[in-house]
Amino acid sequence: MKKFLEMVDNIANDRTHGARELYRQGVETLLAWMEERGESHPQELITVLVRMAQAQPSMAPLLNLVNQVLLAWEINPQKAKVLLKEILEGEEGSTITLMREGIKILKGKRIVTLSRSSTLLKVIKALMNEGGKVEVLISEGRPLVGGAVTARLFHEMGMDVTLCTDGLIFSLVKEGDVVALGADAITPKFLVNRCGTYPLALVARDRGIPFYTFTDTKKLLPQGLVPLFRIEDHDHDEVMKDAPFSIVNFYFDQTPLDYITGAVTERGILSPEGLRSLMEETSISPKIREILEH
């Protein structure tokens, strides 16, 4: 049991990978636990899932994963194991569909973005492989400079890239054709993404520039799971060490969902209302209450 909790802790301590990668790690961890201990130690399930829910509480895929496993386990443990295997097998198919929709939005455009989105990166790679052309204007993404790292990746792909400071990106939105970002969670009220997304949405709205989030529907967080969600204040030393004053280091902000033009997903391009409708259809396990009590 200890090694599986340590695997979950590795997810909790990861400051490099995005929601999609950490979700896959979560699926692999739970599947490994079920194959080694699950049916013979069912009492451990809540302990493992509580730790998973706490690992990255601002990333909706992990919270949805907890709910999905509970719903399947209530039918029988074998179904939960099958579910996790199907998730791993089906990931690539959903990515292909999302990329096809994303290429239509981005082809020939100058994209304004920030930080790093693995989903957006895959769409742009697919577009480049088809011979399409795009330009990218991206901000640094402090304190971990995810945007600067992504800018290098784009440059190595042969793209025309402009990197700017986080504060400058808002003044340069007018030079873009489309704002394109990832997502860590989408609730009925908000898009949750890297800090700077909310003011970027405000400027895009003011300038009449379309604003899209590139995400799969695993990141939709229905109202019944919102109590598990929270935005954490991360290590203050990432901003400044030994500061003689208060520091806050939130990685994510919340943008009103109605400020986005649409979400590019494996189900097509969805409006805010379309996203809410999908969330309303999601079943919530009664055992989520046990997770919340812990």
Whether the pLDDT of residue 52 is over 80: the answer is yes
**In the structure, what pLDDT confidence band is assigned to residue 3 with cuts at 50, 70 and 90?**
confident
For the segment 209-235, the average pLDDT, to the nearest whole number, is: 94
**pLDDT score, position 161:** 96
Whether the pLDDT of residue 94 is over 80: the answer is no
**In the structure, what pLDDT confidence band is assigned to residue 17 with cuts at 50, 70 and 90?**
confident
Predicted TM-score (pTM) of this structure: 0.89
For the segment 238-249, the average pLDDT, to the nearest whole number, is: 94
Instruction: Note the Cα 73 to chain centre separation in Å.
Output: 25
Do residues 161 and 177 share a domain? yes
User: HSE of 255 in the Cβ direction (CA atoms, 13 Å)?
Assistant: 32
**C-alpha–C-alpha distance, residues 44 and 67, integer Å:** 16
How high is the mean pLDDT of the chain? 92
| CATH number of domain containing 59 | 1.20.120.420
Do residues 112 and 88 share a domain? no
**C-alpha–C-alpha distance, residues 174 and 189, integer Å:** 26
Contact 225, 189 (CB under 8 A): no
Local structure of 48: helix, strand or coil: helix
Do residues 80 and 118 share a domain? no
Do residues 38 and 105 share a domain? no
CA Rg, the chain, in Å?
19
**pLDDT score, position 258:** 97
DSSP annotation of 184 reads S
**pLDDT score, position 55:** 92
Whether the pLDDT of residue 281 is over 80: the answer is yes
- Range of the structural domain that residue 22 is part of: 2-92+284-293
**In the structure, what pLDDT confidence band is assigned to residue 91 with cuts at 50, 70 and 90?**
low
**pLDDT score, position 5:** 87
User: How far is CA 83 from each of CA 28, 69, 188, rounded to the nearest angstrom?
Assistant: 12, 8, 26
**pLDDT score, position 93:** 58
Do residues 59 and 121 share a domain? no
Whether the pLDDT of residue 92 is over 60: the answer is no
Do residues 36 and 140 share a domain? no
The structure tokens listed for 24 are 């896959």
Do residues 168 and 274 share a domain? yes
**C-alpha–C-alpha distance, residues 184 and 167, integer Å:** 21
Whether the pLDDT of residue 124 is over 60: the answer is yes
Catalytic residue among 166, 184, 216, 253: 184
**pLDDT score, position 242:** 93
Do residues 44 and 66 share a domain? yes
**pLDDT score, position 263:** 97
Contact 153, 141 (CB under 8 A): no
**In the structure, what pLDDT confidence band is assigned to residue 2 with cuts at 50, 70 and 90?**
confident
Contact 83, 69 (CB under 8 A): yes
**pLDDT score, position 60:** 93
- What sign results for the dihedral spanned by CA atoms 20, 62, 44, 2? positive
DSSP annotation of 151 reads H
Domain count, the chain: 2
Residues 6+ apart with CB under 8 A from 62: 11, 19, 22, 23, 26, 52, 53, 55, 56
Contact 192, 219 (CB under 8 A): no
DSSP code per residue over 196-254: THHHHHHHHHHHT--EEEE--GGGB--GGGGGG----B--GGGT-TT-SS----BSEEE
For the segment 228-248, the average pLDDT, to the nearest whole number, is: 94
Do residues 271 and 160 share a domain? yes
Do residues 101 and 122 share a domain? yes
* Residue 14 among the catalytic residues: no
**In the structure, what pLDDT confidence band is assigned to residue 278 with cuts at 50, 70 and 90?**
very high
The structure tokens listed for 89 are 């097998």
For the segment 262-274, the average pLDDT, to the nearest whole number, is: 95
Do residues 144 and 76 share a domain? no
**C-alpha–C-alpha distance, residues 263 and 271, integer Å:** 6
User: How far is CA 238 from each of CA 3, 15, 143, 175, 234, rounded to the nearest angstrom?
Assistant: 28, 11, 6, 31, 8
**pLDDT score, position 210:** 97
* pLDDT tens column, 164-207: 999 999 999 999 999 999 999 999 999 999 999 999 999 999 99
Rounded (10°) angle between helices 19-33 and 118-129: 110
Do residues 137 and 164 share a domain? yes
| CATH number of domain containing 184 | 3.40.50.10470
Contact 23, 87 (CB under 8 A): no
